[in-house]
A = this chain, B = another copy of it.
């Protein structure tokens, strides 16, 4: 099942996506819901963020080639994470599918995409086990962890580098039926494919993270966990369109503009 959240005459509303149709529901996938008799065309509605997370988690460095690339960019030795230490991103930076990434006027040219699988939590849970961890996931969406690389070197906390307004596109919707092992992530800049990788080839997988996290923290419905990106990333500039496609989920597409241009 595919859940979109859209602007219904000014009211954020969840709907079930079936082909090119969206069926608005009363309620939400995180609680009780039932279908209305309405039918809308997906192309006729403005998609919103599929969820506004209570807490926005991010694995950060979680793919071997990307760890190597990132270390080299920052002039640091390469070392793979040894524990699934979850990190955080901030809600101010979230934008929906179709909205523009806005590069601040004082950013360098080193503003880069990172295409990521996102797990959307469906229930309150703690002390998950390897056996039941995935049952806490209500569905899957796509994130683009946009990063300004010079700020990433300078910031003690990555606040500007990662959480500048518009730097966290997420969407287009939440897909509940996903086989993790068969997913492929493809990233395209202005239609040109830059990288394709097996989404599940993580240093620590979704189950590793959820089990480790819930040893000491409670997850809540709507929390999101961004799982990291693979390989080399490139600069985006004013006028570009960046797309992150994950097979079986969809394509997150965003324009890029630079302030003052």
Taking Cβ atoms with an 8 Å cutoff, the residues of A that contact B are: 54-55, 60, 81, 83, 85-88, 90-93, 104, 126, 154-157, 159-160, 163-165, 213, 215-220
Contact = CB atoms under 8 A, between A and B. Distances in A.
A160 B85 CA distance: 8
Copies in the complex: 2
Contacts of A54: 91-92
Contacts of A213: 159
Contacts of A220: 91-92
A91 B55 contact: yes
A220 B92 CA distance: 8
Summarize A's interface: helix, strand, loop or mixed: loop
28 contacts: A54-B91, A60-B157, A81-B156, A83-B154, A83-B156, A85-B159, A86-B157, A86-B159, A87-B156, A87-B157, A87-B159, A88-B88, A88-B159, A90-B217, A91-B220, A92-B217, A92-B219, A92-B220, A93-B217, A104-B215, A159-B213, A159-B217, A160-B215, A160-B216, A163-B216, A163-B217, A164-B216, A165-B216
Nearest to A87: B157
Given A92-B217, A217-B90, A157 B85 contact: yes
A259 B216 CA distance: 12
Given A60-B156, A83-B156, A90-B217, 7 more contacts: A60-B157, A85-B156, A91-B220, A159-B217, A160-B216, A164-B217, A165-B218
A83 B160 CA distance: 12
A251 to B, nearest CB: 27
Contacts of A90: 55, 88, 217
A70 to B, nearest CB: 13
A91 B163 CA distance: 17
